[in-house]
Amino acid sequence: MEGKQNKFELNYHNSAINVERHSIGKQTIFRIIFSDKRPPLIITRALHENAYKFWTSIPEGRQREADEIGTLISEYFKTIT
């Protein structure tokens, strides 16, 4: 199934980023393509030990971007559902 929810554009720090949703092994990940020369970022939702969900980069190392862009993605889904 394809739909607009699987590929969309967001504004991140006044720049456009392209977001793609993929399903790998029944797990959802998001691939972020930046308009500058930064390498693409893969993020997913993970479960904190204290039972709340947080956004994280795959692999580790880009937590700040994962957190900020993940929040934008969550807001995007709230507006369309």
Partner 1 sequence: MCYYNGQKVTHDEYIRLKQLEKLVANYDFLSRDLQIGFDYNQNTVLKANAEKTDFDLVQMEWGFIPSYLRTREDVFKMRSGYKDASGKYRPPIITLNAVCEEILAPGKIYREAALKRRCLVLSTGFFEWRHIYPLNKRTGLPLKTANKYPYYISLKDKGYFFMAGIWQPWTDKTTGEYVETFAIVTTKANKLMEQVHNSKKRMPTILNEDLAYEWMFGDLDESRISEIAATQVPVEEMQACTIAKDFREVLEPAKEFIYEDVPALELNL
Positions touching partner 1 (CB under 8 A) are 1-3, 5-7, 20-29, 31, 40, 42, 44-50, 53-54, 56-61, 63, 66, 73-74, 77, 81
Phi-psi region at 34: left, alpha or beta (left = phi > 0; alpha = psi -120 to 50): beta
Beta carbon nearer to partner 1, 14 or 52: 52
Beta carbon nearer to partner 1, 17 or 73: 73
As given in the structure block, the two tokens for residue 39 are 């390498």
Main-chain dihedrals φ then ψ at residue 29, nearest 5 degrees: -130, 160
**Residue 66 Cβ, how far from partner 1 at the closest point, in Å?**
7
Long-range contacts of 28-33 (CB under 8 A, 24+ apart): 29/58, 30/69, 30/70, 30/73, 32/65, 32/69
**Residue 47 Cβ, how far from partner 1 at the closest point, in Å?**
5
**Residue 42 Cβ, how far from partner 1 at the closest point, in Å?**
5
